[in-house]
Amino acid sequence: MTNELIKSWVESANAPNCAFPLNNLPYGVFNDGSGARCGVAIGDFILDLAQVPLKSANHDLFAQPSWNAFMDAGADIWAAFRDEITSVLHEDSPPAPAWLVAQSSAEMLLPFAVTEFTDFFAGRHHATNVGTMFRGPDHALPPNWLHIPIGYNGRASSVVVSGCSVRRPHGQLKGPQDELPRFAPSMRFDFELEIGAIVGKNSAARLSVDEADDALFGYVLLNDWSARDIQAWEYQPLGPFQAKATATTISPWIVTKAALEPFRTSTPERDFELLDHLKDTGPMLYDIDLAVDLITQSGAETRITETNYAEMYYSAAQQLAHHSACGCPMRVGDLLGSGTVSGAEKHQRGSMLELSWGGKDPLLLSDGQTRSFLEDGDSVRLSGRAQAAGYCIGFGECLGTITPA
């Protein structure tokens, strides 16, 4: 793996801080008015795979408007295809501008068909903050938290791509002073800053951590929208249900594991040695800078969070290994949410619940407004990039705007 920029004949891909240099090559699905089809981001453009005479992969793999068939083709095809596209776009290869579509003229769609969605609760700072608010600092983490990555099965049907609006949900609400619950719109609607891992290989048996790592195809930014007041009433004893079924927004580009290899980093020091089926086998996380911007209806933008994926306590490979430990079959297109990525400092918190400390400390925005939770018309934009000396690996934005209930 190189830590130097690989130059392309697509000049915009060589620009400093370009999110999609030749080192990246993320996979998406786009429509420029000629139908939905698969493409690869390069600079300011999309390489239209329908136009490229491929040798490494059959065009049938890209006939459907998703990357699922390609993922199912296996790791050897993944590697050969990446090598071929790198060669096709390399500065030493003949330019073929007819194969390119401007990103600005294309609509981005869901890049893969989500088979199942599982969300985890695997960020220690987030879990500690939330636990402290509700149970006090002495009982912040549940007894099992430092031993297993806690998760719950979510709704694949409500996963949407960046740019889709998110309607404020209705649900049962019951405040601490209310005698009975009522049915009303959520007043404590929230975002959660996460990374989503995509399973690219079917399995029918328990996976080791290394096998789980090999089964992961790539990563997206993920916002697991959460209605905190609905959740507070419904979650005991089974956990989130309607509070997290409204929508989960993902970024439109799948950043492959291959692109992130130079950015591997270790998980935090363990309080307890993990059991054998979860033990670290090397650097399991990635050094990915993450940020959240809140944009009000008037257009005022405020950077409210800056953190890093390396803050996670459990990696996606460990989450997948644990998911399969009981014999649970995993499928191509399964999506695993990392859990909220928060750091130790206030500006590193990955949700409004933490940033406003349950509404007790409202957040001051750039235009003088304050927020405890999200209001109608607010947009939340997640961004992420892994930075090397000579290039960066960007994810594109993960954007959602709240509309009235």
- CB count within 10 Å of CB 54 equals 15
Residue with tokens 């697509």: 10
Is 122 part of any domain? yes
Question: Tell me, what amino acid is at 103?
Answer: Q
Please report the pLDDT score of residue 240 as a whole number: 87
List, in sequence order, every residue forming a beta bridge with 47; answer none if it has no partner.
40, 100
Per-residue pLDDT of 13-46, as tens digits, reads 999 899 999 999 999 999 999 999 999 999 999 9
Instruction: Please give the share of the chain, as a percent, with pLDDT higher than 70.
Output: 100
Of residues 337, 341, 313, 309, the one with CA closest to residue 323: 337
Q: What is the pLDDT of residue 373?
A: 98
Indicate the pLDDT class of residue 2, thresholds 50, 70 and 90: low
Asked if 209 contacts 277 with a C-beta cutoff of 8 angstroms, the reply is yes
Is 90 in contact with 7 (CB distance < 8 Å)? Answer: yes
Which ranges in 142-199 belong to alpha helices (H)?
Answer: none
Spell out the alpha helix ranges (H) of 204-287.
209-215, 228-234, 257-260
63 shares its domain with 141? no
Q: From CA 329, how far away is CA 204, in angstroms rounded?
A: 4
Q: Which of 81, 82, 88, 108 is nearest to 10 (CA)?
A: 88
**Shared domain check, 270 and 124:** yes
* Residue 309, CA distances (Å) to 78, 139, 275, 284 in order: 24, 25, 23, 11
Region 305-333: mean pLDDT is 98
Question: What three-state secondary structure class fits 339?
Answer: coil
Flag whether 273 is in a domain.
Answer: yes
Q: Are residues 184 and 272 in the same domain?
A: yes
* 342 closest CA partner among 129, 134, 118, 119: 129
Are 202 and 345 within one domain? yes
136 plus 54 within the same structural domain = no
CB contact set of 252 (below 8 Å; sequence gap of 6+): 28, 29, 108, 109, 110, 111, 161, 162, 163, 396
Tell me if the bond preceding 404 is cis, omega within 30° of 0: no
Residues 343, 308, single domain; the answer is: yes
In a domain, 227, yes or no: yes
Residue 81: inside a domain, yes or no? Answer: yes
The beta strand positions in 284-396, using DSSP E, are 285-286, 289-295, 301-308, 335-337, 363-364, 370-371, 379-387, 392-394
Tell whether the model's pLDDT for residue 1 goes beyond 60.
no
How many domains does the chain fold into? 2
Determine the Cα–Cα distance for residues 128 and 153; give it in Å rounded to an integer: 22
Q: Are residues 171 and 227 in the same domain?
A: yes
Query: Domain with 348 in it: what CATH number?
Result: 3.90.850.10
Neighbours of 311 (CB within 10 A): 22
What is the number of residues in the chain? 405
The catalytic residue positions are 126
Which of 239-248, 255-264, 304-313 shows the lowest mean pLDDT across its residues? 239-248
Residues 51 and 179 in one domain: no
> In this structure, is residue 6 part of a structural domain?
no
208-239 pLDDT per residue, tens: 999 999 999 999 999 999 999 999 999 888 88
Please check whether residues 199 and 281 belong to one and the same domain. yes
Cβ partners under 8 Å of residue 269, min gap 6: none
CB atoms within 10 A of CB 403: 11
* Statement to judge: residues 95 and 152 lie in one domain: no
H helix or E strand, kind and range, residue 319: helix 316-324
Domain that holds residue 105: 11-109
pLDDT band at 176 (very low <50, low <70, confident <90, very high): confident
With beta carbons less than 8 A apart as the criterion, state whether 383 and 290 touch: yes
pLDDT tens sequence across 52-80: 999 999 999 998 899 999 999 999 999 99
Cis before residue 142, ω within 30 degrees of 0? Answer: no
